[in-house]
Chains A and B, each alone.
Chain A
Amino acid sequence: MATQHSRSAARIMMAPAVTLLLGWMLVPLIATLYLSFRDYRPMRGGDLGFAGLENYTRFISSSSFWPSILTTLIIVGGVLAITIIFGVLLALLLDRPMWGQGIVRILVIAPFFVMPTVSALVWKNMFMDPTNGLLAHLWRFFGADPVVWMSEQSLLSIIIIVSWQWLPFATLILLTAIQSLDGEQLEASEMDGAPTLARFWYIILPHLSRAITIVLLIQTIFLLSIFAEIFVTTGGAFGTKTLTYLIFQRISESQAVGLGSAGGVYAIILANIVAIFLMRIVGKNLD
């Protein structure tokens, strides 16, 4: 049993780590909050005084704000749908005994180790380029006009690129879940004559629900701040400006730091709303 003395000693020893972690989170948060109430424009000479709520009203009333929220949600939703559906299918496939299983598994998870900027550049220049890209050659081979991916199918292109990167993560989590499934249950259902689809629907999918929840939660948090893929492909053009990208544009290109910081506070609020919503709807699976 811990004595009063040992508890105090533990607190003292943990204090530096706790302080550091708090500072790590609090300093940027407080700086963002502070700047969001200032008219801070470095190109105009820096801090031009207190701005009240003007940054907040200006950011939200900008013609780019609501489209950027919608774009963010479409990208997050699209990537989640693709990674979960294909993640389940791939996990089922990889669970089967096959020749060269180890190598196949490594190949499937490989995209996760590629940096987002690199993968976006490879997709943009080697696959989706309308003149020299692999897909353009493929389309021409079948006598069709190549798709101009980055401008005509810009949102779909970004969803494909990001899904390619996040699919291994979903597959890995789901594969682990499938491997923990009791084989006897499946065998029993097979002997009872249950068709494959029914076995998937009534046994495998309920078993995967907890893993799917984890994928949903973790990916949503990361996907809300997606940036690099947009930066190197469309640069925010063609309706691909997410909230994160809009904030970057306000701070970096327009040099309106106060305005961008107000956007940052909105982003924090949005992330929390989405997180609470998800926890309420799907979090009960984690009980």
Chain B
Amino acid sequence: MTTDTANGDIAVRVYPGTYRDSVSLMLLSREVATMDGVADALVGMGTAVNLQSFTEMGAPVPSDVAENDLIVAVQAADPAVREAAFARAEAGDATRPTGATGGGERRARSVRTAARVPGQAPASLALVSVPGPHAAGVALEALNEGLDVMVFSDNVPLKHEIALKRTAERLGRLVMGPDCGTAVLQGACLGFANVTRPGTVGVVAASGTGAQHLMSLLDAAHVGVSHCLGVGGRDLSEEVGASSAVRALDILDADPQTDRIVVISKPPAPAAAERLTAHAATLSKPVHTILLGTQGQDITSAVEEVLHAQGVAVPEWPQWAPGSPGGRSARSGALRGLYCGGTLAEEALLVVEAELGAVSSNLGKRAAESETPHRVVDFGADEFTQGRPHPMIDPMPREEQLRAELLDEDCAVVLLDVVLGHGAHPDPASGVAAVVRDGRALGSTTPVIVSLCGTQDDPQDLTRQAETLQAAGAEVYVSNAAAARRAARLAAGKD
């Protein structure tokens, strides 16, 4: 039972009570919008945020739609194209009804039902990625059911996070997140995570891409990871007080597979840092702490310390220089950093600032754009992900910016990250390489420096991704700090 409305060449179809997750719908939205003859298209649930987008598009959405109703709006001059677009949206599995009445296989509607499959061992973990305001409710249900929880969702209210973590403390469970993008348990990757060799280093991470980079570097040094427990970016805030980090440390300290623990985080609140440090000192295993920006260290040098402590030789960090000339900048000038990974962007910014001075950025309090030609942008920040998937899934916005920078006469060097692993785009290098090739064809000689985060065993294949980028004329480093340093020196005219 659907409702159709129209306004000129914009047609709207509403599928009542047909809930789909936002990531699927955003990808589908783009698929429909890029069909031949379609001027614009939007597929989304009837949430307040989405209704605003439909209004901006000029789509005549009925006033009585609910959050559970799926809305497809298509703008196309040809009515046949509009119908084809609706058909594509439906074929994209967006509108197939699930288990509302009769027949078919039953799908669980609650964590409890899903966790208790007759004849199987009860589930051990819940992975929650529902819209932020609803996430803590689902996570608490999972805790009450006896599960540990990973909350991938962002935009979870702080008071919800506190309630969640107090409950986890009472029940002796771990809450990874909210806003936890990365975890590795027994070699299984949850969220965005790289396939690393099995090993004995346990990781506690309040940073997603920071953890990915750390594990990838260890892997490049032939050192494996036992588990990576994410805790969420806000765990080390004053209000949350390192609740999950402390629990995660205890879990790894008790885990026989782990013999060394590394904590990685952005700068924590002092009280949380104190609690964390004090607790780490009580453990039976050595704990290394990488607090980005507080100790003047970068992730690569911190990993090298871990390797030293482990008695493992520090390898030459892999890098791939372009086969053709272009490794030297024609001129000094502006550095433009275009990042997907928040922590990688943060680290790059610190390295670049040390070399070039003021750099503008959307990361925290930085110099204004008018004060400096240098800029580092985190495309994974909230302002870029409202109504869009993360750039690690949908690289298009960043590729557009790369295209522009390559043709910008002020831009002397572009620095960017390419992140591999489960959850990430299946072939991120190809998109970047195509833009670089286009730029070269148009006469751009601007050096492109890539920080490539990944491992040989990732589904995307590190070497193949690196060679694709190299062949297009980019320089590739597995060390983000090395990439940032190289880019900064090029911008300064020192390389």
Bound pair (A, B):
no
